[in-house]
């Protein structure tokens, strides 16, 4: 699937700026971390920028990193106020939503060797489907395996989160 096809599929499935329900889900997700003392956020794998915009609307200093040009172009058009980075940086919070399953362990290790956020707001599916190859899901782990992955990176789980997915979690560095 090309990055343009991936974006078109996401938009068709309501994962974009035109879906008020998805924008509300992003807003509710950001509300879950209001108790944390954070100012800076990196939305890694920012997709259509809906979560980035929700962080911006809540007053956070948000930066986005996105692999796909089609998604970056979409963000430049719909959320031009969000800075899109060429490489990831360390921030108070790494928003890491439904991205890790698209990365190899080697790529994940490289990311966490380069940046060390205080918190990680994380979600990654553990469900295997017939569409995994088309969606680029190359690294599906159980939730226990993700917990171990973060533990080995020096993070402990703070709590499970209710949004945006049933497997969302918050980790903090020891």
Residues of the chain below pLDDT 50: none
Longest dimension (CA), the chain: 41
pLDDT at 135: 65
At 122-147, the pLDDT tens digits run: 988 777 777 766 667 766 778 999 99
For residue 130, with 0-12 CB atoms within 10 Å meaning exposed, 13-18 middle and 19 or more buried, which class applies? exposed
pLDDT at 132: 66
Residue 149: count other Cβ atoms within 10 Å of its Cβ.
20
pLDDT at 1: 79
Query: What domains does the chain contain, in order, with CATH numbers?
Result: 3-173 (3.40.50.150)
Q: What are phi and psi of 9, to 5 degrees?
A: -65, -40
Cis peptide bond upstream of 45, omega within 30: no
pLDDT at 158: 97
């Amino acid at each position: 699937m090309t990055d343009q096809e991936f974006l078109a599929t996401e938009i068709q499935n309501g994962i974009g700026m035109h879906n008020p329900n998805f924008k509300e889900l992003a807003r509710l997700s950001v509300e879950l971390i209001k108790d944390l003392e954070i100012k800076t956020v990196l939305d890694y794998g920012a997709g259509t920028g809906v979560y980035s915009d929700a962080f911006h609307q809540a007053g956070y200093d948000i930066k986005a990193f996105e692999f796909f040009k089609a998604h970056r172009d979409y963000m430049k058009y719909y959320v031009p106020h969000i800075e899109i980075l060429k490489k990831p940086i360390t921030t108070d919070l790494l928003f890491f939503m439904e991205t890790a399953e698209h990365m190899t362990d080697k790529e994940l290790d490289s990311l966490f060797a380069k940046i060390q956020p205080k918190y990680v707001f994380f979600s990654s599916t553990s469900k295997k489907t017939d569409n995994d190859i088309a969606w680029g899901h190359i690294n599906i782990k159980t939730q226990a395996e993700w917990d171990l992955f973060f533990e080995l990176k020096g993070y402990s789980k703070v709590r499970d989160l209710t949004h945006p997915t049933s497997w969302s979690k918050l980790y903090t560095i020891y």
